[in-house]
Structure 1
Amino acid sequence: MAKEVTGPGRRSEQIETLRAADSDRQQIADQLKGALDEGRLSLHEYDDRVAAAYAARTYAELLTIVRDLPRPGVSAAEIHARRTAEARRESRRLPVAMLVLWTIWASLAAVNLVVYALVRKTVNYYVYPWPAWMLVPGAALAAVTIGVQVIRHQQRRY
């Protein structure tokens, strides 16, 4: 609802400042009825909000009436499942410092491999495979990454 509406000869204005139509008021009243049916509102609060919805003049007034209500049909179990999934996803995400270190290591490994491939193509004798030494800091970085993730997982438990 925060998109901007423009028209010929009309300056840009927020949609919340526009006047609401009867169909908009009815839509909010239907949403309030759904919240009453789900047990989110008491009968007294429902009556107050419906009266406020039909008295509202702008979209902003309508939006404040339903701001604390979830979208229709969303149950508490679904909200809880979304929050736990988001927390699980966030805990699996690497810290920024680790992402930076992995990016640096990958770029150095790529440069080493490209240079090795070019040298190997241009000379006729055996070339020592020095890019293999990039596995040492890569293994150390992998161990540190696993350690950081284990520590973060243990902290989340407590």
Structure 2
Amino acid sequence: MLKENTFTGVELGSQFLYSEEHGAIAFSATSSHNQNVLENTTVKYHTKLVDDGDSLNLSSGVFTAQSSGYYMFHLFSTSRQHEELWLDLRQNGAYVCSIYGFTEFDWASAGNSVILHLSSGDNVGFYSRPGHESHLFGSADHVFTTFSGAQLVSDFD
């Protein structure tokens, strides 16, 4: 499986801070095939690498916060050759940030990270920008579209 050069680490806090009621929340998901993401629709992921807290819905591509606190999110994707990708991170439907990639005659890659404060029940997803269709590259042995997140600190901590 070919991957871009990325490495991310996040400490989720001391083991002593977590109980059955307030466990660690982290997820990482990938997409393993080409997909066209129509405007205002979410990127769909196919494989959960990690999902402590079962908070990412693969079929919708949306993460739902189980508890209030600060969260870090990472998104990375590669466009198909000579195609555009333009994805927006949205929290509860409101724009937060974007990634954009396009090159003539080649593949384009883009990534971004953000830290957000979420309340319990808030949702976060990556959507193709209004007025644009994103053409994402992927195959079983070339996984470039990823979405990861972790709660850095709970409001209960």
User: Which interval holds the TM-score relative to the shorter structure?
Assistant: under 0.3
- The two structures have a TM-score, normalised by structure 1, of 0.21
Which one has the bigger strand percentage? 2
Which one has the bigger helix percentage? 1
- The two structures have a TM-score, normalised by structure 2, of 0.21
Higher radius of gyration, 1 or 2: 1
Structure with the bigger RCO (C-alpha within 8 Å, sep 6+) is: 2
